[in-house]
Structure 1
Amino acid sequence: MSETPTKTALPPRPHPPQRLKGAARIAVSVLGVIGLTGIVLQTFNLPVLGIFPLLSNRYYYSIVALFLAASFLLIPARTQDGDPAVSPLDWGLAALALGSGGYLAYHAESIITQGWDVVAPLTAAIISTVMVVLALESLRRSSGSLLLAICAFFAAYPLFADYMPGFLWGPSLSLQETAAAHVMGMESLIGIPLRVVADTLVGFIIFGAVLNTVGGARFFMELSTALMGRRRGGSAKVAILSSALFGSLSGSVISNVLSTGRMTISAMKKSGYPPRYAGAVEACASTGGTLMPPVMGAVAFIMASFLDMPYTTIIVAAIVPSALYYFALLLQVDLFAARNGLAATQDQDIPLVSAVVREGWHHLISLAALVVLLFVISPARAAYYATALMLVFSLLRYRRLPDLSAARGLVEGVTKDISYLIATLCGVGLVVGSLAITGVGGAFSRELVQYGGQSTLLLLVLGAITSFVLGMGMTVSACYIFLATVLAPALVKLGLSPIGSHLFVLYWGMLSYITPPVALASIAASQIAGAKGMATGFTSMRLGAALFILPFVFVYEPALLLQSSDVLATVLAIGSAISALVALSCALEGYFYKVGVITYLERGIIGCGAVGLMVPDRMAEAAGLAMVATGVALALTRGKRAPA
């Protein structure tokens, strides 16, 4: 039995993309270093040479200039030919982004004091038009043509808003006025999405990158293996736990699948899980990571800004729903193992928990420090302090810091992550800006309420369908931003909890990652598993069934979001949800603890009972409990009990 993990050295950073060579690699590194230095100085209000801290809009224009320029060097115009070298067009667009953003940053004070967002000089209007085009092109490169078409339509909406019927009508603007409002106003190009990245999110991106550089991802995998490796269905439970831990810090579904999945899927297949099931487990676990505190990805920070509430409130509200989701996943893989006779592994190479913790204690302290700091100081600064602590602990543990090559790779990786975000959110911001400029966003919300006929359930169903459909063609951030503007206010007007309404939109927008026909996470996992994409997608739907139901539960039951002051009500709500998930998991997997394999009739009865247990009404819960008991009684009358 191994008592210590075999590796103690710092892991190497991956090589940069082949596209980044020579001058392009140097340029991206320089842009990244300047941008990151500026962000740190601005975050901590450090006076340097009389330049920092910058005027707010000057700061945002500087960030756009630097990272939008980097995005054109990092992201090719076409990906059909693999990863082509940086072309003269890429250099030209990067220079144009740097120059245009620099012009806006230089004139930032005039933009505010002279109202250029309403009446702009001709040069500023031309620069604004160029910036809109650059934002849309960067969006196309980072997120594809479908999202480009949606955002381009909304970006141009003020040009023809007075031709639209009914609640879609709005005042029209000229091309010059539209471009100026988009670029020099505070609600579009440099609106909430981009400001969240510049003000708060960069610190967390740096924290995640440093954690990975000093071996955090490997540590969480080893810790998950030590905790779950010897249990029944241990390989699948390791996949779920490691993806939850890694995803909660990375906030990226696909990178989670591609990083942890290469190890976990292979282990699950060796343990006896079918390839499609192994891929589905990893896809569902990685998808849930974005919903798991403490970091949760960019969307959680954007949500805090939309709701105008502390980020820690979002963290607290997300704890129980995300824990319930992972609880349901763990139940299902355990039940699958029980039904199919997959015994617990006796692998002698699985390390002891104490040995893993002794080896990687500094990672746990760094993570704990981040969580504590989030509640003590501002999230924007908390991530930087936690990163500094992590570097100190790594120095104590390894007696050295990452070398120059690792540091350069770290800067390149962080610059790439920020550039992709800026490239996406500049374009998505145009949607929010158009809805604000024309006033259509508020009118759309009012129309939704009227169309729903004051029926909360009908509006939730319509919202769920809309979120799911938009999630197919948009990034999670883009889908959430759009629906947080038009749908969430309508749900709040019907009396639902604001934070519950926004989480509802987020959860349903995430479902496209595991649901055919798109199912990006499922397809990525299926390629690693060697399974069919659609088969993996449909298996993911079954495994992720809790993700379909939980949003309807917590939006009606604020106690599950820890929003109730009644402790007893909160305990009862959580207990009822746990009971419902146990019953639902047993119905989905066709196996009930201490009973054994159950028939389709019994599964149907128990499944209906599980849904009843989730309804926040005592009569419905009693009826659900009775149905579950009936299904179990029918199963027991058929014969001998199972051992587990």
Structure 2
Amino acid sequence: MSTSNNMSQKEMEDLIAKYDKESAVRQYVGPMKWITFCLLVLFAVYQLSYTLFLTLPPQIHRPIHLAFGLGLIYLLYAGRSKKGSEQKVGIINIILALLSVFVSLYWVIDYENLVLRTGNYTTLDMFVGGAAILLVLEAARRVVGWPITIIASLFLLYTYFGPYMPGFLEHRGSTVPRIIGHTYFTLEGILGTPLAVSSTFIFLFVLFGAFLEKTGVGQYFNDLSLVIAGRRIGGPAKVAVFSSALQGTISGSSVANVVTSGSFTIPMMKRLGYRPEFAGAVEAAASTGGQIMPPIMGAAAFLMAEFVGVPYLEIVKAAALPALLYFTGIWIMTHFEAKRLGLRGLKKEEMPDKKEVLKKSYLLLPILVIIGALMLNFTPERAAIIGIISCVIVGAFRKETRMSVTDILEAFASGSKIALGVVAATACAGIIVGTVTLTGIGLKLANGLIDLAGGQLFLTLFFTMIASLILGMGTPTTANYIITSTIAAPALVQLGVPVVAAHMFTFYFGIVADITPPVALAAFAASGIAKSKPMRTGVESTRLAIAAFMAPYIFVVSPALLLIDTTLFGSIWVMFTSVMGMIGVGAGLIGYWMAKLNPLERILSVAGGLLAVIPGTMTDAIGLALLALVFAFSYYKNRKENQLGQLPS
């Protein structure tokens, strides 16, 4: 099925650009179009070359990666929104692009001397380092937005004004030369771990996603979802859930997910009888869930592996069951809403041809190949390369998906363009990480959070949740995770929470900020398609994503959900009770199970669901008993209504 019947390609691009700054690139014509295209292709070629055969020290590779990223950002992203500016680069932006390349390659030009004079920098070094910091902040503002730029700037100010800070935030402070030196001329600031991950794992997986799109897998996800879920009760809503889960495996943006799949699922939901706010909320909640869906997780999986210090595959395994629980929760609530409203599935004529869709199932092979390579202990970089090659091979199976040289070059350019947002976010986040190591503010904030909660784990979790929601507002996935994990996760680790669970906790709530008012970008993008009230759509999205608010508390209290220190039976039992709990909570919030629930039944259903979700033999037993009771009443009412409906009038 084509999206053209619902939204034109131009309308989709405009909507994505409105709510996702990373997509708001200039649309050049003429020579500038080809110059930027060639630079984007060259960026991808360099990254592939580095992975395959180049051997460079990090002080040379990361600045080259940064040079490509910053230079292209200033050529492709406008400093301010102005009518007609999308086709004009402007002399100032050209100067900024060239200056970005110079300050980045300064490391390459003077590598040996910079290493030798560590801590004893020249005036030119200070100029270059200061310019690099400002250029990174401005690039992040253009591509990622104000939140991360403001936070990074405040951290820099905090580093300088340490002696004047109140209470536990006070520290001895740092001079400007020391701040610049630490931030740009060490591997603990801009060129630190976040940019290292961007310049290796993330870029290659983003490129893999671009090649998948070229083979037509994005549209295939939509068609496959229709075949699997379209005929079911409330079909289009379940299509949105299934499609968004699949789109999340290759996409790094909640907003892009919303517009890509929502452009056809939301109109279908409205035609079927769903309220506009509910239709938009289903797509927003499901698309946001794509960012917690392994193996990519909006590129945060790679960052988390580096920050936590565990193999990438361990992060993927830990994220699997919570992601499944999240989408199960949304599926359950859309099902109950459809039953409550009496909504049907799609008609046969509204569906794509099942045989044709199944014939194209080979398009999923690259995803299976890359997962298989990871399970065989290939490095993520090698697995990504194998995945890219498999895309080209699999695409050659049929004429309509066969990739020409032009298609391959366009995939290179598309992957590089998508990666620019990650470059800006990780470079800017490096400033935050650098100031944390220089001042020790991470430990100070952790202690402050614990003191505020009186040392109580639950209160600390609650305050961490609020902090992560606020810090994640309006921030793309990669930057979101870096900020929340740096500022909020240490407090949980201090209280004995396993480090993976602590990082996953802050990551989840940072992501949920995309659908949590007042700055719910994914929900607002969905409301633009649904023609619904944005704030009400955000509230509905939050209600549907209740699993995202429950799952983190479950896996902190019971890490078995993350497959940490558990048996197979232990993980299955936690997943079973959590799903049953989600059914109870979903039924209570919607007000329907086998039949309409009265207020008391709704309260009992929610209470039973919450108790089933809380790990523990007693809570599981009471919760499951309450759910069985509510189900029995609901089943009895349903049978009675059916019998009455069958009586002759």
Could you tell me the TM-score, scaled by structure 1's length?
0.92
What SS class does the counterpart of residue 384 from structure 1 fall into? helix
Distance 1:103 1:13, change over 3 A: farther
1:624 counterpart residue number: 623
| Structure 1 gaps, min length 5 | 47-51
What displacement does 1:88 show? 1.0
1:95 counterpart residue number: 98
What displacement does 1:408 show? 4.4
- Measure the CA separation in 2 of the matches of 1:262 and 1:79: 25
What displacement does 1:417 show? 1.2
Identity %: 31
**In the alignment, residue 535 of structure 2 is paired with which amino acid?**
M
User: For 1:215-614, what aligned pairs fall within 5 Å after superposition?
Assistant: 215-351=216-352, 353-358=354-359, 360-376=360-376, 377-398=378-399, 401-403=402-404, 405-593=406-594, 596-614=595-613
- Measure the CA separation in 2 of the matches of 1:120 and 1:22: 43
Distance 1:239 1:612, change over 3 A: same
The aligned length equals 625
Distance 1:223 1:400, change over 3 A: closer
Distance 1:401 1:348, change over 3 A: closer
What displacement does 1:451 show? 3.8
- Measure the CA separation in 1 of the matches of 2:164 and 2:228: 62
What displacement does 1:122 show? 1.4
What displacement does 1:28 show? 2.1
1:79 to 78, 81, 91: 81
What displacement does 1:637 show? 7.2
Q: Which moved more, 1:18-27 or 1:133-142?
A: 18-27
What displacement does 1:172 show? 2.2
1:38 counterpart residue number: 46
- Measure the CA separation in 2 of the matches of 1:451 and 1:79: 42
Distance 1:393 1:17, change over 3 A: same
What displacement does 1:399 show? 7.6
**In the alignment, residue 59 of structure 1 is paired with which amino acid?**
H
1:205 counterpart residue number: 206
- Measure the CA separation in 2 of the matches of 1:82 and 1:338: 49
- Measure the CA separation in 1 of the matches of 2:622 and 2:248: 37
Q: What value does the CA root-mean-square deviation take over the aligned residues?
A: 2.3
What displacement does 1:428 show? 2.1
Distance 1:583 1:352, change over 3 A: farther
| Structure 2 gaps, min length 5 | 14-23, 644-649
1:120 counterpart residue number: 121
Q: Deviations over 1:138-194 (max 9, x none)?
A: 111113334322211112332222322343233322222211210111111011111
2:35 counterpart residue number: 27
What displacement does 1:221 show? 0.8
- Measure the CA separation in 1 of the matches of 2:485 and 2:142: 24
Q: Deviations over 1:530-572 (max 9, x none)?
A: 1111121111111111111111111111111112332222221
Distance 1:17 1:129, change over 3 A: closer
Whether the 8 Å CA contact 2:252–2:477 is kept in 1: the answer is: no
Distance 1:481 1:643, change over 3 A: farther
1:168 counterpart residue number: 169
What displacement does 1:225 show? 0.7
Q: Deviations over 1:583-626 (max 9, x none)?
A: 11111111113xx0111221111101111111111112222233
What displacement does 1:437 show? 1.2
2:16 counterpart residue number: none
Distance 1:232 1:65, change over 3 A: same
What SS class does the counterpart of residue 397 from structure 2 fall into? helix
**In the alignment, residue 223 of structure 1 is paired with which amino acid?**
L
What displacement does 1:403 show? 3.9
2:160 maps to 1:159: yes
2:57 counterpart residue number: 55
Q: Which moved more, 1:310-319 or 1:411-420?
A: 411-420
Q: Which moved more, 1:161-170 or 1:537-546?
A: 161-170
Distance 1:185 1:13, change over 3 A: farther
Whether the 8 Å CA contact 2:474–2:514 is kept in 1: the answer is: no
Whether the 8 Å CA contact 1:281–1:543 is kept in 2: the answer is: yes
Whether the 8 Å CA contact 1:602–1:632 is kept in 2: the answer is: no
**In the alignment, residue 330 of structure 2 is paired with which amino acid?**
L
- Measure the CA separation in 1 of the matches of 2:635 and 2:246: 39
Whether the 8 Å CA contact 1:227–1:353 is kept in 2: the answer is: no
Distance 1:216 1:636, change over 3 A: closer
User: For 1:177-188, what aligned pairs fall within 5 Å after superposition?
Assistant: 177-188=178-189
Distance 1:338 1:441, change over 3 A: same
What SS class does the counterpart of residue 119 from structure 1 fall into? coil
What displacement does 1:108 show? 2.5
- Measure the CA separation in 2 of the matches of 1:566 and 1:55: 42
What SS class does the counterpart of residue 27 from structure 2 fall into? coil
**In the alignment, residue 32 of structure 2 is paired with which amino acid?**
A
- Measure the CA separation in 1 of the matches of 2:641 and 2:281: 27
- Measure the CA separation in 2 of the matches of 1:584 and 1:83: 49
**In the alignment, residue 95 of structure 1 is paired with which amino acid?**
L
**In the alignment, residue 76 of structure 1 is paired with which amino acid?**
A
What displacement does 1:466 show? 0.4
What SS class does the counterpart of residue 121 from structure 2 fall into? coil
What displacement does 1:32 show? 2.1
2:114 maps to 1:106: no
Distance 1:233 1:492, change over 3 A: same
- Measure the CA separation in 2 of the matches of 1:639 and 1:232: 17
Q: Deviations over 1:308-350 (max 9, x none)?
A: 1111111111111111111111111111111111123332352
Distance 1:253 1:473, change over 3 A: closer
